Structure 1
Amino acid sequence: MISLEEFHQDFLQSILTDAESRGLMRSQAFFENTCEALVSIGELTSDYTAADYSKTGIEVHGYDYDETREILTVLVHHFFQEDRIETLTKTHITIKFNRLRTFVQRSIRGFYRDLEETSDAYSMAYNIHQYAYSGKISRIKLVVMSDGKMTRTLTDLPSEELDSILVDLRVIDIEYIHKIYLSEYNGSSFEINVKLPCLEIPTSSQEYQSFLSFLTGEDLIGIYEQYGQKLFEQNVRTFLQFKGGVNKGIRNTIEFTPELFFAYNNGITATASEVEFDNEGKISKIIDFQIVNGAQTTSSIYAAKKNSKLDVSKVSVQMKLSVVKEKEKQYDFVSKVSEYANTQNKVNKSDFFSNNPYHKEMKSNSQRVWAPSVGGSQRRTHWFYERVRGEYLNEQAYLTKAEKTKFQLENPKAHLIDKTFLSKSENSWLRKPDVVSKGAQYSFASFADHIIEWLEKDNLAITESYFKDAVARIILFKNVEKLISNASWYDGGFRAQTVTYTIAYLSQLVEKTGRYFNFNSIWEEQQLPKDLLPVINTITKEVYDSITVPPGGSANIAQWCKKRECWERIQKLDLGIELDNSLLIEKEESKYIKREARKEKKLTSGIEVQIFVVNMQRQVWTKMLEHFRKYQSVSNVSRLQMDILEKMAVGSLRAPSEKQSKVLNLLYEKAINEGIIS
């Protein structure tokens, strides 16, 4: 297990690397890294916004608004950035809370009128005022974040009131961030205390248990208020749908016939890693509770109570609860339950992207492909693809000091590929800056839809060539961030929006030439070509000037950037830019590169499948053979497939050909999907 001191060193290094590679101030990188950790456990939504404002008696670094629960979170940090862990004293904490409190009070009363309209602080203060004016703040959280360790003399932070709104005070220190890491990668759990009657459903499976139970409307609301998005963290679809709207049918049932809710509604499907029972046989504790299907039901009941003030005490919601006994299999199980349970409504393909082959392909390439040596260095490095946040650190947890040093040299922190960041760089080049501006979750979902549709048309699309181009687009994104930060005209605010709109505009310029951008020039040098720098500098300035002057009726710049109309206006900018030929390649050359990459991948994939099939234990093939023989009429397994499987099961096919291996691999995947093997 990684110690607090080791974690602190790695966390600090992440911040320094992030700041250097993206042109951020270290404090900005600290804010973003800490907020991402809080997003991962549902403490913040993924739409949190950085917005610095500081003057005498006021200090704030960002905010977040949970639309469903109507919770406003306002954030400030105390970033020591010291090699050793400093103490966050009671004085530090008191001063920070006082400054936050003052800002929130003044914002509620119209402080935005005193701020510069093109600043992030203006947008933040304006939104807070609007939320309060509309009566849409049920609770406020004031949060102090620090890389220091909170003093042990401060044991209690009681809630208070501000303009008749309940206010909670929170301190997020390095110990808290470390615990988030441990909870994600070392099996720590969260527990929900309940008292639920249940019926256990008999099953022969050794992997899970099934129960039928029910929750009252008040139970469901109470659980959601306490745990929020953490209940849905393994389900992208749930997050996107959970927006507080009330389904008309559900609302009518709650209002007029709540006692019939159980009969009319399909209820929720949930999973857990463990349940405990009291001496009456009722479920008393649910560990790692996840609502997999039932977002609309949950959000509608919550909104009916909170927004429409309806009585939900007579509402009963049926619940199918599956307990997965082996934690390492829980994520895959949740994904499958989600896929099979979500049949009533249209399901976005991005909902099940977590198990998409894209991740496997990107991970494989990141481990196999060496980046070119640059700057006279003789050591080649990888770009590390992090499918799960924190995976980079987790892989080093049990290495010796020498092994860890080697790992970090070959996988430098600056070469970390975060899948959410990747979705932003890819969507920007796909000319979806309005989607990127809507927040990380929307960007990721849109990117997932794109990838899945692409792979359905071409299952060999994620080649080594694509991987290199994707890395080049990450380098492009980070360098545009840095160029904006260092620009003489940039005075802060809306940098993220300027970056994505700049890249989208560049992509459009390339499209108009009828050629393709030469991403290989970025990959080979691991930096932007000199001929591209003046182009970027011109675009960023004009884009910034445009998005910060929204049309009448769109006073909020951040909201304006989320609209398709904003992108349509940027597209019409005529900047008189001509791209140098060195930045472009002909379409025929691009097609040749992709064709060769597909050939190479096809060859590599064939060999990998053969190795996989040969190394599989014979009893797996035997189990599959028994099942497909028994259910051959409904499993749609051909006679040829059965013949190959039988030979493999009895051991007469010691060296299957590439074609035979592909048949066996398809049958293996079919067996997994049908639940024969796991």
Structure 2
Amino acid sequence: MIRSATDFHQDLLNSIRTAAAVERTFTGEAFVDEAGRRLTEAEEVDSLIQGHFEGTGLRNRRIGFDGFDFGDEDGHVVLAVSRFTNNDELQTLTESDAKRLFTQTLGFVEAVLKGKLTETLEETSIGYQVAAQLMEQRHRTFKIRIYLITNAKLSTRVKSFPSEELEGMTIEFHPWDINRFQKVEESRLGREEIDIDLREWAADGIPCLKAAITSASVETYLAALPGDVLAGVYRKYGARVLESNVRSFLSVRGNVNKGIRGTILQQPEMFLSFNNGITATATEVKTEIRRGETRLIGIRDLQIVNGGQTTASIFYASREDNEVDLAEVFVQTKLIVVSEEQEADIVPKISRFANTQNRISDADFFSNHKFHQRMEEKSRRILAPPQPGSHFQTKWFYERTRGQYLTEKSRLSPSMSRQFEVEYPRSQLITKTDAARYLVSWSQLPHVVSSGAQKNFIQFAREIDAEWTRNDEQFGDEYFRSLVAKGILFNGVRGRVLRTDWYRSSPGYLANIVAYTIAKLTQIAQTEYGDSSFDLDAIWAAQRVTNELWAAIEPIALAVRLVLTAEDRPVTNVTEWAKREKAWEQTKLLNVKEAKLADFVIAASASDGGHRAAKKEQRLLNGIEAQIVVNDRGSRYWSELRDFARRLRAVSPKELGILSVAVGETGRIVTEAQAMVLVALEARMTDAGFKPR
């Protein structure tokens, strides 16, 4: 079912109102949070931080912003300005209003770059913090992207907002209205496609060779891509041209490779020989034949799946060193064109296989991990405890794929859609990035949580992948309930902080305060209460942070805020300070005597007993799930798989015996243990190329 813009607007508005009601905050603030989450998932920003500032700039003009992101892995800084209308009717934003909003944020940038703002603002204000950080990293920033986020629709008269140059920086304007948010949500990949015209850097295109066709759905092109073209593409589109797993890998390890830079400086003519080059995918390419030679002139939805560090290093070397000349630098390039229908499935596989020779681990490909499938299954089955005064029970919805909640809801009739939302309230949605925040905070790494969604997700992936490899049976029903409880605690603390007098009198840095509070809370439980753990079962049962629990936690929140905003902090910008491990080291030293947690912790031995029972339960559940899979496949499927395995001589006598049961030759039923063997065999044969007829 295709939703109209009006229906999408109403869904978004309801979501904003629900979030505002739950957190007792303003709908405008809830909208900035929601828009920031969507921009992060669309890979437009790393992690948009809400922060409202209004002031007066040059020539007494009104200036301001509503959010910012200094995740400058690609030399970009993001500022956002918001226009939210809490109206059931879809509103229109005129071109003049859009220009006025963009101009307010541009005015802020102008005042900062001309050094006219930090002198007049209070050092504790969010405006000063952002201005100081912008000045501090000015030397490594070449582009500022200003986003106008709105739940209105842009007037059809609006054509474009051309970029401007200011104090040696490029200023780009990106309007995101209700139509654009809807288009991205309903797209195949959850992000906007990139359409690159290579003639912008190479007037005649790039000579290329089309490899022999081996598949109707995949084409391959080989080329020697000029270094200045690759640098130009990266300069314009930034990390958006890096496949998400590669982007995460780079964000953790840094972008510049000294060896690559040395070759560019000292032997640029040998770069093609020395460097392994890049592998990239696209959904479409445009070519021209000139003088009998095929030339590449356009690429749609370019994603570099291997060679991200090469790309970034070439760009940074050319930008930061005047001696660098890319005229003799060429990069061997393999460009794989996949059909749009298969892009979501094939690109991650190409990325995985292209990176088998470098340090990118399985954790870097965590988005499709079985952990998410397990959590999704739990969320569709496990009921939350009934709440006082309610005659029905609800569930928590774990979103395994981006936009899954609204996609499933949109497929239903109006009456079934309402029933769906009763069963799975919007406030009980957990995305993968949400889970990452909850769990990494709980692991006492608040500085990693504060470093942005990309870096935090990689940490989350490493933790879960290691634990899953060690023993996946621990991820049972109890684990899911504890994950939800951690989410309730995280969001409950967030909502409670928002309502305190001390926060209202001096708002800001909410995300950092919450992450640090959760981390400090778990540290206190472990170190001051005899290696105890926090009682998550009680939170699951209550489905909220009670007044009594908040009374014990609030002193912790206030204490960590004082550490983050201390006048003697070594980093001016609070959000940047929160990313430093030293900030967490200082927080760990706090002695918060007012935090009385005795009633909210349990002995480690009691917790371990519950974990053992949960593993046994999950072991049984895994067997049942495997039986269901085996039965669903059918006897013909297992007969084909047996034939395939025999041809490869890759099946043991034990497996052949179980296969004879699965194909119905013995008259017996496959047991749970046998089903587990068959599922493992199926995975092995699938990797070897098995495809049922």
The bucket for the TM-score relative to the shorter chain is over 0.9
Q: Counterparts of 1:478 and 1:367 in 2: how far apart (Å)? A: 21
Shift of the alpha carbon at 1:478?
0.9
Match of 2:282 among 256, 272, 275: 272
What is the TM-score with the length of structure 2 in the denominator? 0.90
Q: Counterparts of 1:291 and 1:69 in 2: how far apart (Å)? A: 14
Does residue 92 of the first structure (1) align with residue 107 of the second (2)? no
Q: 2:187 aligns to what SS in structure 1?
A: helix
* Structure 2 CA distance for partners of 1:517 and 1:91, relative to 1, 3 Å: same
Q: Counterparts of 2:638 and 2:242 in 1: how far apart (Å)? A: 36
* Structure 2 CA distance for partners of 1:458 and 1:300, relative to 1, 3 Å: same
Does residue 493 of the first structure (1) align with residue 508 of the second (2)? yes
Shift of the alpha carbon at 1:268?
1.1
Q: Structure 1, residues 309-360: CA drift from partner, whole Å, max 9, x if none?
A: 4222322222223333472x53343333323222343224420111211101
Residue pairs, 1:75-154, within 5 angstroms: 75-108=80-113, 109-132=115-138, 134=139, 136-154=140-158
Partner residue in 1 for 2:674: 660
Partner residue in 2 for 1:317: 331
* Structure 2 CA distance for partners of 1:271 and 1:401, relative to 1, 3 Å: same
Shift of the alpha carbon at 1:200?
4.5
Partner residue in 2 for 1:254: 264
Q: Structure 1, residues 147-189: CA drift from partner, whole Å, max 9, x if none?
A: 1112233334233333343333332211221221232469985
Shift of the alpha carbon at 1:618?
4.4
Gaps of 5+ in 1: none
* Structure 2 CA distance for partners of 1:653 and 1:114, relative to 1, 3 Å: farther
Residue pairs, 1:60-75, within 5 angstroms: 60-65=65-70, 67-75=72-80
Q: 1:395 aligns to what SS in structure 2?
A: helix
Q: Counterparts of 1:551 and 1:642 in 2: how far apart (Å)? A: 70
Look up the equivalent residue of 1:307 and give its one-letter code.
Answer: E
Contact 1:625–1:649 (CA under 8 A) maintained in structure 2: no
Does residue 172 of the first structure (1) align with residue 176 of the second (2)? yes
Q: 1:112 aligns to what SS in structure 2?
A: coil
CA root-mean-square deviation: 2.6
Shift of the alpha carbon at 1:281?
4.9
Partner residue in 2 for 1:335: 348
Match of 1:453 among 443, 450, 466: 466
Q: 1:126 aligns to what SS in structure 2?
A: helix
Q: Counterparts of 2:552 and 2:326 in 1: how far apart (Å)? A: 59
Q: Counterparts of 2:432 and 2:476 in 1: how far apart (Å)? A: 17
Q: 1:313 aligns to what SS in structure 2?
A: helix
Q: Counterparts of 2:616 and 2:512 in 1: how far apart (Å)? A: 38
* Structure 2 CA distance for partners of 1:673 and 1:188, relative to 1, 3 Å: same
Q: Structure 1, residues 90-123: CA drift from partner, whole Å, max 9, x if none?
A: 3422322332222112222152233232333222
Match of 1:296 among 309, 313, 320: 309
* Structure 2 CA distance for partners of 1:196 and 1:652, relative to 1, 3 Å: farther
Contact 2:287–2:295 (CA under 8 A) maintained in structure 1: yes
Contact 1:68–1:242 (CA under 8 A) maintained in structure 2: no
Partner residue in 1 for 2:22: 21
Q: 2:410 aligns to what SS in structure 1?
A: coil
Q: Counterparts of 1:216 and 1:578 in 2: how far apart (Å)? A: 61
Deviates more, 1:177-186 or 1:594-603: 177-186
* Structure 2 CA distance for partners of 1:275 and 1:66, relative to 1, 3 Å: same
Contact 1:237–1:348 (CA under 8 A) maintained in structure 2: no
Partner residue in 2 for 1:624: 641
Q: Counterparts of 1:488 and 1:187 in 2: how far apart (Å)? A: 39
Match of 1:442 among 455, 458, 472: 455
Does residue 181 of the first structure (1) align with residue 185 of the second (2)? yes
Does residue 671 of the first structure (1) align with residue 685 of the second (2)? yes
Q: Counterparts of 2:444 and 2:73 in 1: how far apart (Å)? A: 30
Shift of the alpha carbon at 1:299?
0.7
Q: 2:8 aligns to what SS in structure 1?
A: helix
Deviates more, 1:500-509 or 1:346-355: 346-355
Partner residue in 2 for 1:639: 653
Partner residue in 1 for 2:543: 526
Shift of the alpha carbon at 1:413?
0.5
Partner residue in 2 for 1:553: 570
Look up the equivalent residue of 2:136 and give its one-letter code.
Answer: Q
Look up the equivalent residue of 1:145 and give its one-letter code.
Answer: I
Look up the equivalent residue of 1:220 and give its one-letter code.
Answer: L
Partner residue in 2 for 1:475: 488
* Structure 2 CA distance for partners of 1:251 and 1:40, relative to 1, 3 Å: same
Contact 2:306–2:355 (CA under 8 A) maintained in structure 1: yes
Deviates more, 1:525-534 or 1:395-404: 525-534
Look up the equivalent residue of 2:493 and give its one-letter code.
Answer: V
Q: 1:492 aligns to what SS in structure 2?
A: coil
Deviates more, 1:379-388 or 1:163-172: 163-172
Shift of the alpha carbon at 1:267?
0.9
Q: Structure 1, residues 514-538: CA drift from partner, whole Å, max 9, x if none?
A: 2222111111111123431211111
* Structure 2 CA distance for partners of 1:40 and 1:258, relative to 1, 3 Å: same
Partner residue in 2 for 1:51: 51
Look up the equivalent residue of 1:515 and give its one-letter code.
Answer: S
Partner residue in 1 for 2:250: 240
Shift of the alpha carbon at 1:284?
4.8
Look up the equivalent residue of 2:453 and give its one-letter code.
Answer: A
Q: Structure 1, residues 348-399: CA drift from partner, whole Å, max 9, x if none?
A: 4420111211101110011001111213111211111112332111112221
Look up the equivalent residue of 2:315 and give its one-letter code.
Answer: Y
Contact 2:144–2:170 (CA under 8 A) maintained in structure 1: yes
Contact 1:499–1:540 (CA under 8 A) maintained in structure 2: yes
Look up the equivalent residue of 2:333 and give its one-letter code.
Answer: M
Shift of the alpha carbon at 1:472?
0.9
Q: Counterparts of 1:653 and 1:306 in 2: how far apart (Å)? A: 71
Contact 2:43–2:191 (CA under 8 A) maintained in structure 1: no
What is the TM-score with the length of structure 1 in the denominator? 0.92
